[in-house]
């Protein structure tokens, strides 16, 4: 009887050891797969394009030196009138490590309706910045400037990249000039159904439904 119980205990112990060994091997395999996937993701992130947007401010001096005879009497003291600044345009840089392909630039209003758009075949990294000049901006309104693009690698994954810059327009100190208050850049990875063209179609459908 004792030998029987001993045999049962030995068999159970062996089964437990085998089960533990099996799960240890599976965990090791899974860890290796995860590490390889992480390395691939890091390599892809390191080699991806990265569009950066900045608002350019044009500054013009409107103060005069007190010792200049031609200076208007109302501006004899340089402290009377500060420098005036106004928004000029946007500049777009590719700060990544690979070209941005099928680059689309969209200016949208608060309802995400595209007001103005431009397309470009590609923008290399470290290439000269692109200039984007809005045709018309409403004062005291929120707007979005969006860059949408892909890379050679992202075509396999069918992933698109987006850079969003939200900004609000305000009156400038000079007539017919405006300033923009910009938010932080927002970088996204989106599917084909989340592209700007899809958002535009959704907005048009919603407007048509309301009109109907």
The confidence score (pLDDT) of residue 202 equals 53
pLDDT in tens, 102-126: 999 999 999 999 999 999 988 988 8
Structure tokens given for 102: 């099928």
The DSSP letter of residue 42 is: H
User: What would the mean pLDDT of 134-146 be, rounded to a whole number?
Assistant: 92
CA dihedral 200, 203, 208, 209 (to 10 degrees): 140
Q: Which residues contact 70 (CB under 8 A, 6 or more apart)?
A: none
Read off the pLDDT of each residue in 152-181 and give the average, rounded to a whole number.
83
How confident is the model over 12-51, as pLDDT tens digits?
Answer: 777 676 777 777 777 777 766 555 544 444 444 456 899 9
92 burial type by CB count under 10 A (0-12 exposed, 13-18 middle, 19+ buried) = buried
**% pLDDT > 70, the chain:** 61
Give this prediction's pTM: 0.64
Mean pLDDT of the chain: 74
Q: Is 149 helix (H, G, I), strand (E, B) or coil?
A: strand
Give, rounded to a whole angstrom, the gap between the first and last alpha carbons of the chain. Answer: 88
Better-scored residue on pLDDT, 133 or 86: 133
Give the Å distances, CA to CA, from 73 to 35, 65, 79, 99, 173: 73, 11, 13, 55, 20
Higher pLDDT, 63 or 209: 209
pLDDT in tens, 63-87: 333 333 333 333 333 343 334 567 8
SS (H, E, C) 158-185: CCEEEEEEEEEEEECCCCCCEEEEECCC
């Amino acid at each position: 009887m004792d030998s029987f119980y001993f045999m049962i205990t030995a068999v159970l112990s062996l089964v437990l050891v085998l089960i533990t060994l099996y799960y240890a091997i599976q965990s090791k395999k899974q860890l290796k797969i995860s590490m390889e996937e992480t390395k691939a993701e890091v390599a892809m992130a390191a080699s991806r394009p990265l569009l950066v947007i900045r608002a350019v401010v044009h500054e013009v001096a409107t103060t005069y030196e007190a010792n200049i005879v031609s200076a208007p009497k109302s501006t004899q003291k340089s402290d009377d009138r500060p420098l005036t600044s106004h928004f000029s345009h946007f500049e777009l840089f590719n700060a990544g490590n690979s070209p941005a392909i099928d680059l689309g630039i969209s200016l949208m209003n608060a309802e995400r309706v595209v007001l103005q758009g431009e397309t470009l075949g590609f923008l290399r990294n470290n290439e000269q910045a692109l200039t984007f000049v809005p045709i018309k901006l409403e004062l005291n309104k929120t707007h979005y400037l969006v860059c949408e693009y892909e890379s050679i690698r992202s075509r396999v994954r069918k992933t698109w990249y987006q850079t969003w810059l939200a900004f609000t327009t305000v009156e400038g100190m000079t007539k017919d000039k405006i300033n923009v208050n910009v938010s932080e850049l927002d970088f996204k990875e989106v599917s084909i159904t989340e592209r700007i063209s899809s958002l535009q179609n959704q907005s048009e459908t919603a407007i048509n439904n309301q009109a109907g």
